[in-house]
Structure 1
Amino acid sequence: MTELEWVAGFRTALVHPGERIQLADPRGFDNQTLRQVLHMAGGGTRIRVRLTNRYSDRDLVIGTARIALRKAGAEIVAETDTEVRFAGSAQVRVPAYGDAISDPIDMTVTAGTDLALSLYLPEPTGLAPYAQLPNESGWIATGDRTADLALPTAEETTSQFFVTGVDVLAPADTPVLVAFGDSWFQGTGSTHGANRRSVDVLNERLSRSWVVNQGSGGNRLLTKEIGESGLARFERDVLAVPGVRAVLVNFGINDLILDERTTPAEDLIAGFTELAQRAHDAGLPVYANTIGPFGGAYYPGLAVETGMPVRREVNAWLRGTDVFDAVFDVAAAVQDPDRPDFLHPEFDGDGMHLNDAGARAMAGAMDLTALDLTERS
């Protein structure tokens, strides 16, 4: 009989609702049902759900929770609808600053499965921790609508709240790679709801390893602003992920351009070096991407001009360093050859993010041989 263990099948990185957020507003819930789509990286026959209340000073009450396979939009597959329990109870009170893990649920999922998690929130939650732009829809309805097959009048949201992961009971040797970084992993710029992020494409290329996505739009390696810094969240969002065997790192753009003062190259290099050391101290190989082009970024207040020369300096160091187990030259793969500080027009989403073709090119720049993985034929 195969030995089994809990392995991360889905992950998402949430941010504090009081932090500076782009393009999405923080919110709370009261007597409302929240239905959210969770796209699985791998599969098994049992799952468990992870919820968080880590940024709140009040308890979070989940009145009812149900999970099912998603049919389309907010509609679920009726025969798969299953109650989610916590320590045997249909209701759970998640303490302030705390987390909760559900009881095991008998449900068969595979890589690419979309689950629909429905949470009924009967009491005021206060502002909720959330992933600002996970490139997937959720739906909000009044009252307990967790058992409804569809939510035709629900409000649609483009953020994700409270849920941080789904674990799958899988063979004990199932390797999980954590894609740890910013919006280039989270998928900003790729088609909403289509699962065309670079991490999704990378999962398509793997024969048996799973890549779980801990990208967070706007996240920086060194500074807390939109989410905790990469260094600050490394233990929770990488080392604590069940089944983690390696780390893929994509940081840098936000450190360079989100403030008027660009982070000095030596500071960013020191941060990358510390991140690599922490991974190696935990026995994990760690792989890094070069910092992508952002010369065409048109959002106001960005330090594009001062950030570009620092990007070149840090990328030169990344290409020559041995602190990582391998470095993937994503920047070279997606840049305009005639204007290397700019994205190739074929890959350009908005001057600083990748479209679907760019996300595929980014994934293609990651050498699976270096990762000791096997490509699908």
Structure 2
Amino acid sequence: MTTTWIAAHRSAVINPYEGFGLFEPRGFTDRTVRQSLRLAGGGDALRIRLSNRYGKEPIRIGGAHLAVRTRGSGIDPGSDTPLRFSGAETVTVPVGEELVSDPVELPVSAGEELTVSLYLPGDTGLSTYTAVPYDLGYAVPGERLSAELLEDAEELSTGHYLTGVDVLAPADTRIAVAFGDSWVEGAFTTPGADNSFPARLSRRLTRGWIVNQGISGNRLLSDEVGEHLLARVDRDVLAVPGVSHVLIHIGLNDIGLPGARSHPEPPTDRPSAEDLVTGLTALADRLHAAGLVAIGGTLGPYEGCVYDGVDSPEGQAVRREVNAWLLGDAHPFDAVIDIAAAVADPEQPTRIRAEFNAGDGLHVNDAGAKAIADAVDVTLLDL
């Protein structure tokens, strides 16, 4: 059987030096940082991806280990394996670059939880980071790569440097990339439960799987939080090995963030429905040019959200127009998932149903993510 490298986990990253941030950036000095992930698919071997894309100085890694996770910061010590990079156990990640580890001959399956531990001996500066990692991470002083449990560890709510795992799988394996904002990334779903709607949908598939390239706060047309969707399509979709389909939810932050009191852009910079339609069309055209199936998603409801200035009559009008276009016959996508209808309050469809509301009126909880996944016709994902 012919095999090739296929993405089994992805985490899209953010520049810690952005002017507007929803998350607190940070760095490390003489710390072991331990982070866990869950594989969306399996294979006969794997390799780990680390990124210093936005760092301002090279990152020295004094050691990196891979292990099977037990619980919290715990690992199975019998599975603890040093990672190597071109044969070396220590490595420096240059500014703006990504490193891929040497293959680890370890058969793995979908749903398996693994832990990557990095020892960072020097001052890293602010780290290239992920807004919503799979689960809480942990950091302790000194080199504790092989420790079975990290005692008295600092908990990390953001992810750092770890951007993906590839597995050696049959060459005909095809996967989907979920691409967009917090509704994709799974903000406000239970950490460590893998309950984002793409993860839940992935578990419904009989062939292939879905990896997640969402960024909470991300926009279609403007940078911050993260590079805007049209700018990151090459890196976060087209460069993902095995991709054949793309699921998209984007636009709520374009509409809402300019009105937020903490945001530097005035509300007058809010894009029009025509602007978003033009951007979504450009995105679909770019994906089609690469030979991919592009599946759009209607913009979720958010009326009554708790963040000052995000909900406005002007923004609601833009959302209404964009969703009408997506549900009509003029859009360029191969299909459209009605994400909004899956979680909307039947009595007030501009709001999230109470049982699906994560509490802020802007995001869905675990039950809401399940409702979205269950509403998708899996035959659209002919992987």
In 2, the alpha carbon distance for the partners of 1:305 and 1:142 equals 50
Q: Tell me, what secondary structure is at the counterpart of 2:361?
A: coil
| 1:242 and 2:241 matched | yes
In the alignment, what sits opposite 1:275? 283
Q: Tell me, what secondary structure is at the counterpart of 1:125?
A: coil
| 1:325 and 2:334 matched | yes
In 1, the alpha carbon distance for the partners of 2:129 and 2:99 equals 16
In the alignment, what sits opposite 1:367? 377
Are 1:53 and 1:129, in contact at CA under 8 Å, matched by a contact in 2? yes
In 1, the alpha carbon distance for the partners of 2:103 and 2:59 equals 21
| 1:312 and 2:331 matched | no
- Cα deviation for residue 309 of structure 1 reads 1.0
- Cα deviation for residue 369 of structure 1 reads 1.6
Write the deviation string for residues 71-105 of structure 1: whole angstroms up to 9, x where unpaired.
11110011111000000000111111111110001
In 1, the alpha carbon distance for the partners of 2:41 and 2:65 equals 20
Count of aligned residue pairs for this structure pair = 371
| 1:102 and 2:92 matched | no
Counterpart amino acid of residue 370 in structure 1: L
In 1, the alpha carbon distance for the partners of 2:141 and 2:34 equals 11
Are 1:188 and 1:217, in contact at CA under 8 Å, matched by a contact in 2? yes
In 1, the alpha carbon distance for the partners of 2:341 and 2:120 equals 47
In 1, the alpha carbon distance for the partners of 2:119 and 2:125 equals 15
- Cα deviation for residue 135 of structure 1 reads 5.0
Runs of 4+ deviating beyond 6 Å? none
TM superposition score normalised by structure 2: 0.95
Write the deviation string for residues 304-355 of structure 1: whole angstroms up to 9, x where unpaired.
3321111000000001134000001111111011111100111111201001
Q: Tell me, what secondary structure is at the counterpart of 1:96?
A: coil
- Cα deviation for residue 21 of structure 1 reads 2.0
In 2, the alpha carbon distance for the partners of 1:18 and 1:57 equals 10
In 2, the alpha carbon distance for the partners of 1:286 and 1:250 equals 11
In the alignment, what sits opposite 2:361? 351
Q: Tell me, what secondary structure is at the counterpart of 1:79?
A: helix
Counterpart amino acid of residue 109 in structure 1: V
Task: Note the aligned Cα RMSD (angstroms).
Answer: 1.1
In 1, the alpha carbon distance for the partners of 2:70 and 2:191 equals 17
Are 2:304 and 2:311, in contact at CA under 8 Å, matched by a contact in 1? no
Are 2:325 and 2:331, in contact at CA under 8 Å, matched by a contact in 1? no
In 1, the alpha carbon distance for the partners of 2:162 and 2:116 equals 9
TM superposition score normalised by structure 1: 0.96
Structure 1 residue runs of 5 or longer lacking an equivalent are none
Are 1:135 and 1:192, in contact at CA under 8 Å, matched by a contact in 2? yes
In the alignment, what sits opposite 1:159? 158
- Cα deviation for residue 372 of structure 1 reads 2.5
In 1, the alpha carbon distance for the partners of 2:304 and 2:200 equals 25
Q: Tell me, what secondary structure is at the counterpart of 2:68?
A: strand
Write the deviation string for residues 1-36 of structure 1: whole angstroms up to 9, x where unpaired.
x100000000000100012222x3100011100000
In 2, the alpha carbon distance for the partners of 1:172 and 1:292 equals 36
Q: Tell me, what secondary structure is at the counterpart of 2:301?
A: coil
- Cα deviation for residue 301 of structure 1 reads 3.4
Q: 1:298/1:135 Cα in 2 relative to 1: closer, same or farther (>3 Å)?
A: farther
Q: Tell me, what secondary structure is at the counterpart of 1:107?
A: coil
In 1, the alpha carbon distance for the partners of 2:312 and 2:170 equals 46
In 2, the alpha carbon distance for the partners of 1:323 and 1:76 equals 47
Are 2:138 and 2:154, in contact at CA under 8 Å, matched by a contact in 1? yes
- Cα deviation for residue 58 of structure 1 reads 1.0
Structure 2 residue runs of 5 or longer lacking an equivalent are 260-266
Query: After the TM superposition, which of the residue ranges 3-12 and 98-107 deviates more from structure 2?
Result: 98-107
In 2, the alpha carbon distance for the partners of 1:301 and 1:143 equals 44
Are 1:134 and 1:187, in contact at CA under 8 Å, matched by a contact in 2? no
Counterpart amino acid of residue 309 in structure 1: A
Q: Tell me, what secondary structure is at the counterpart of 2:6?
A: strand
In the alignment, what sits opposite 2:310? 302
In the alignment, what sits opposite 2:25? 26
Are 1:185 and 1:215, in contact at CA under 8 Å, matched by a contact in 2? yes
* Percent pairwise identity: 49
In the alignment, what sits opposite 1:48? 47
